[in-house]
Structure 1
Amino acid sequence: MWKDIFDRMLMRLIQTGQLHVTFPDGRAKTYGTQAEPAASVRVTEDAALRALCLNPELALGECYMNNTLQIAGDDIEGLLRVLLRNRRHDDLPIWARAYAALRYGAQSWLRRNTPGLARRNVAHHYDLSDELYRLFLDEDMQYSCAYFPDPAMSLDQAQVEKKAHIAAKLRIEPGMRVLDIGCGWGGMALTLARDYGAHVTGVTLSENQLATARRRAAEAGMSARTEFRLQDYRDLHESFDRVVSVGMLEHVGVAFFGDYFAQVANLLDRDGVALIHTIGSLAPPGAQAEWINKYIFPGGYIPTLSQLTPALERSGLWALDIEVLRLHYALTLRHWLTRFDANLDTVRQSYDERFIRMWRYYLVACYMTFEEDHQAVFQFQLGHRRDAAPLTRDYLYAGRSAGDFHEAAE
């Protein structure tokens, strides 16, 4: 039964490229007629076929993790490229479409990131060992999209460029009070304190990241100009000249977008500038990737512009600039995967093969959404005053490059 349903589903779905499938009984079939893109898989159990029919998106990742879906050459990218280029909602079974609609309708309730839930969700991902992240991140441990003025530059260079691009948009001057919402391991805060003379307060919900950020500040002699707190941004009642938030809005959830921008407005001085950097979607709102939410980022939600702009409008803040970074995150994730793969022997000392398959699937699936789907990165430059930033972007590119500035600061 499930083999027949799976067969009919793929016959309708695969129109671009080619997918070769070997079934649990050993029989094989090729779907699609075009040579490229192409992938070949083997489904080893009938239970995997059933799962792929009932909930394709979740089961695809789970079956790969459990090795009941084996990809020839371990070519996750090739398989996902075929599937994404053929993704048409109407070609999925009616129960899969109904389930996706139900999840979309319930997501505001399912992903209510209240302070207690938000802390548990953050701990699920960010309180993994620092040693794992050091294996694939840059030297500064920037776990967010880098900025590639030159696609050929190194990951470390591109992360320096990202921080400099954000700092330029913030128009930071020495002595300014800066709030970093979701400060991670402290890299952005330390950069703004060291290279720009700011006094930075960083807040995080990760105890592990908090300890690392404080240690790094002490080692860099920046403890007097930085303060790191284990605190929810909603509990802050201070005023700051600048507010920066990189890669945190994805953890807020639809139900709290209004609260988020209202709080940014409350915390930002009347003459201040805020820079919000987030993954976003240029497609209409839809159900979030269930596999990512279950295994990687519980409570996560990738916002669309149509969901963010009403909340931003209600905050009373001016959108001084909105920049869309398109393939920068795909380049970043490819660097992360290359580094992760280069350190597999080290990873295996602490994690099993199922975890490795999960992590590789996560990295590849993410860069494929930037290359084949509608994901990008948004940078919102915000302020209370319409003239809080220059009228054109010329100021961002004048003078020395970010790399030159970083070398001079050293």
Structure 2
Amino acid sequence: MKAAIATEQIEAPAARNGKPTKAGFYERMFYRAVSDNAIGSLTVRLCDGSAVQLGAGTGGVAALMQVNDARAFKAAVLRGDIGFGEAFVCGWWDSEHPDLVLQWFMDNAESTPTFAKRLGRSIFTAPLSFLDRIAYLLRPNSKRTSLRNISEHYDLSNEFFSCMLDDSMAYSAGIYRQPGDSLHTAQMHKFETIARKLDLRPEHHLLEIGCGWGGFAIYAASRYGCRVTGVTISREQLEYARRQVARAGLEDRVEIRFQDYRDIGGNYDRIVSIEMVEALGEQYLDTFFRRCSELLGPEGLIVIQCITFPDAFYGRYKKDMDFTRKHIFPGSLLLSIRETLNSLGRTGQLSLYHLESIGQHYARTLSDWRRNFNSNLSRVKELGFDDAFIRKWNYYLQFCEVGFRSNYINDVQMLLSRPHNEGLKNYPYPEPRQRLS
């Protein structure tokens, strides 16, 4: 399977003799763009064996980047963050530790134009990035487009995701209570934390919006005895989840539907959505929370786990594009806490009653996923995924890991309910967890 990278838009222009022209101009522009970076250092080793060191070396990481093709500079200058990632996928630059290269840029985000544009600063690079923004705007998450967007990611194949995820097939941040916790243990801790926040009981009917491969639905029904309705718009996930429910002997308590959240009917005691709202898009955020308010019973509780972007920079973020939104999660948009609260205020009586940050746990989750993925590369290749796809997937995992580790993005669990809910008076908050080492 070929990785979809827009190389046709970033090819170096050919000289009269048919050979690529020298990239000296773009190389100089690249150095100029990062000339104010003062945290840590980045050594750029060039094709001819020479090297250029960037950064003051004060604190931060010491990263090494090998440039294999001068087109890497042009890609970064003309297409910003997206072009830099695409150049890595194409093999135009490499590193034994790409995460350190990305960390260096993250550490210097306020002085790096391609990152600083999201922080409200002016930018003189990435003049072609508007093309990516236009492509994004052409994919709003209507019912029809949502099917396409979700399918492009989640229908890569169940076998592919099993090469990366734990046995529960949970594709969201786990919670590591102890330094030695495995990925599976962390996912079970996450399930238990959510179940306790929901105060699940056998008499409850739980709705899971975006149930994935069914891991939490099975956990909730088997551990707490409640009835669960899960919905997904991924055909691959639907078939897998139904098989797992049958294997667990829970068909009398768990129903998995192929259904858009906008078409759900009925009334539910509890609602959960684990890292699904990122797929809504700004246009449909109010629609989602309005639907949740309509579906929730009078004494109901909702837990939303979602990835968030800092409020201070959110306006710029919404207008920009990044590598993951273009190549990994088409049509997606992270929320901010303020944006969520504003939407709740516009759409019903739901209010935020508890919020917990688990962003650092996501960094470790991503590290475990990447380790699993690279331990199963032979299987990944047998499934038909080529080297470019593997490089793209590794870049995505490391890009996100560095983002969480740097607190550039966060992951939170939000408890929502209505005023005058008597059940909140004796709310059983989870016990404090040990801090990650």
Q: Among 2, 14, 18, which residue is 2:41 paired with? A: 18
Q: Among 26, 33, 56, which residue is 2:80 paired with? A: 56
Give the C-alpha shift of residue 155 in structure 1: 1.1
- Relative distance call for 1:389 and 1:15 in structure 2 (3 A) is farther
Q: Is the 8 A contact 1:203 1:232 kept in 2?
A: yes
Q: Is the 8 A contact 2:359 2:407 kept in 1?
A: no
Give the C-alpha shift of residue 6 in structure 1: 1.7
1:171 aligns with 2:199: yes
Give the C-alpha shift of residue 371 in structure 1: 0.8
Aligned residue number for residue 19 of structure 2: none
Aligned residue number for residue 356 of structure 1: 390
Letter of the 2:375 counterpart: A
Letter of the 2:98 counterpart: I
1:369 aligns with 2:391: no
Q: Does the residue aligned with 1:202 lie in a helix, a strand or coil?
A: strand
Q: Is the 8 A contact 1:270 1:385 kept in 2?
A: no
Q: Does the residue aligned with 2:424 lie in a helix, a strand or coil?
A: coil
1:274 aligns with 2:296: no
- Relative distance call for 1:392 and 1:78 in structure 2 (3 A) is farther
Letter of the 2:107 counterpart: R
Aligned residue number for residue 84 of structure 1: 106
Aligned residue number for residue 363 of structure 2: 330
TM-score, normalised by the number of residues in structure 2: 0.84
Give the C-alpha shift of residue 172 in structure 1: 1.3
Task: Give the distance between the partners of 1:107 and 1:266, measured in 2 at CA.
Answer: 33
Letter of the 1:4 counterpart: R
Q: Is the 8 A contact 1:273 1:388 kept in 2?
A: no
Task: Give the distance between the partners of 2:429 and 2:149, measured in 1 at CA.
Answer: 38
Task: Give the distance between the partners of 2:228 and 2:241, measured in 1 at CA.
Answer: 12
Give the C-alpha shift of residue 343 in structure 1: 1.6
Aligned residue number for residue 297 of structure 1: 329
Task: Give the distance between the partners of 1:123 and 1:334, measured in 2 at CA.
Answer: 25
Q: Is the 8 A contact 2:175 2:361 kept in 1?
A: yes
Give the C-alpha shift of residue 118 in structure 1: 0.8
- Relative distance call for 1:76 and 1:392 in structure 2 (3 A) is farther
1:96 aligns with 2:125: yes
What does residue range 5-404 of structure 1 map to in structure 2 within 5 Å?
Answer: 5-12=29-36, 14-24=37-47, 26-34=49-57, 36-71=60-95, 73=96, 75-88=97-110, 91-92=113-114, 94-96=123-125, 109-110=137-138, 112-284=140-312, 285=314, 286-287=316-317, 289-314=321-346, 315-350=348-383, 351-391=385-425, 395-397=429-431
**Deviation by residue 1:142-195 (Cα, 9 ceiling, x = unmatched):** 110111222331111111111111011111111311111000001111111111
Task: Give the distance between the partners of 1:52 and 1:384, measured in 2 at CA.
Answer: 48
Task: Give the distance between the partners of 1:10 and 1:94, measured in 2 at CA.
Answer: 12
Q: Does the residue aligned with 1:96 lie in a helix, a strand or coil?
A: coil
Aligned residue number for residue 404 of structure 1: none
Q: Is the 8 A contact 1:89 1:97 kept in 2?
A: no
Q: Is the 8 A contact 2:132 2:321 kept in 1?
A: no
Task: Give the distance between the partners of 1:70 and 1:150, measured in 2 at CA.
Answer: 34
Stretches of structure 2 that go unaligned for 5 or more consecutive residues are: 1-24, 115-121
Give the C-alpha shift of residue 101 in structure 1: 8.6
Task: Give the distance between the partners of 2:39 and 2:425, measured in 1 at CA.
Answer: 45
- Relative distance call for 1:39 and 1:395 in structure 2 (3 A) is closer
Give the C-alpha shift of residue 300 in structure 1: 1.0
Task: Give the distance between the partners of 2:340 and 2:104, measured in 1 at CA.
Answer: 31
**Deviation by residue 1:202-221 (Cα, 9 ceiling, x = unmatched):** 11010000000111111111
Task: Give the distance between the partners of 2:243 and 2:428, measured in 1 at CA.
Answer: 37
Count of paired positions: 395
Q: Does the residue aligned with 1:209 lie in a helix, a strand or coil?
A: helix
Letter of the 1:255 counterpart: Q
Give the C-alpha shift of residue 2 in structure 1: 1.5
Q: Is the 8 A contact 2:309 2:334 kept in 1?
A: yes
Task: Give the distance between the partners of 2:321 and 2:425, measured in 1 at CA.
Answer: 38
Q: Does the residue aligned with 1:117 lie in a helix, a strand or coil?
A: helix
- Relative distance call for 1:18 and 1:176 in structure 2 (3 A) is same
**Deviation by residue 1:327-363 (Cα, 9 ceiling, x = unmatched):** 1111111111111122222223232111111111111
**Deviation by residue 1:288-340 (Cα, 9 ceiling, x = unmatched):** 55210121100111111121110011221122212222311111111111111
Q: Is the 8 A contact 1:151 1:331 kept in 2?
A: no
Stretches of structure 1 that go unaligned for 5 or more consecutive residues are: 402-410
Task: Give the distance between the partners of 2:178 and 2:112, measured in 1 at CA.
Answer: 39
Q: Is the 8 A contact 1:281 1:303 kept in 2?
A: yes
Q: Is the deviation greater in 320-329 or in 232-241?
A: 320-329
Q: Is the 8 A contact 1:173 1:197 kept in 2?
A: yes
- Relative distance call for 1:51 and 1:212 in structure 2 (3 A) is same
Q: Is the deviation greater in 275-284 or in 247-256?
A: 275-284
TM-score, normalised by the number of residues in structure 1: 0.90
Letter of the 1:328 counterpart: H
Q: Is the deviation greater in 20-29 or in 389-398?
A: 389-398
Two-structure CA RMSD over aligned residues (Å): 2.4
Q: Does the residue aligned with 1:17 lie in a helix, a strand or coil?
A: strand
Give the C-alpha shift of residue 373 in structure 1: 3.7
Letter of the 1:118 counterpart: S
